[in-house]
Amino acid sequence: MKRVYAACAVLALVGSLGCTNMTKTQQGALSGAALGAGAGAAISAIAGGNAGIGAGIGGALGGIAGGLIGHQQEQRGY
């Protein structure tokens, strides 16, 4: 369990280092994937399931949602 949280923290840190030259869509997708993976792993572990599967599903859904939100912000000029 501690390994999953440590891995999510490292991935979020590494992912945030390269965000300066990214579009809002790319930033949203990366942020959403990182948050989704962490939340999916935590929820799955609490529910007694496989944290890796939860992280994968949460990361995929978070990446899609974050990309869509970032794209909308980009189109609106935020």
Domain range holding 30? 2-76
Q: List pLDDT tens digits, range 9-68.
A: 666 666 556 667 889 999 999 999 999 999 999 999 999 999 999 999 999 999 999 999
**Residues in Cβ contact with 73 at an 8 Å cutoff, skipping those fewer than 6 apart:** 24, 28
Q: DSSP per residue over 2-48, as a string? A: HHHHHHHHHHHHHHHHTGGG--HHHHHHHHHHHHHHHHHHHHHHHHT
Neighbour tally for 8: CB within 10 Å: 22
Give the distance from CA 50 to its chain's centroid. 18
Report the domain count for the chain: 1
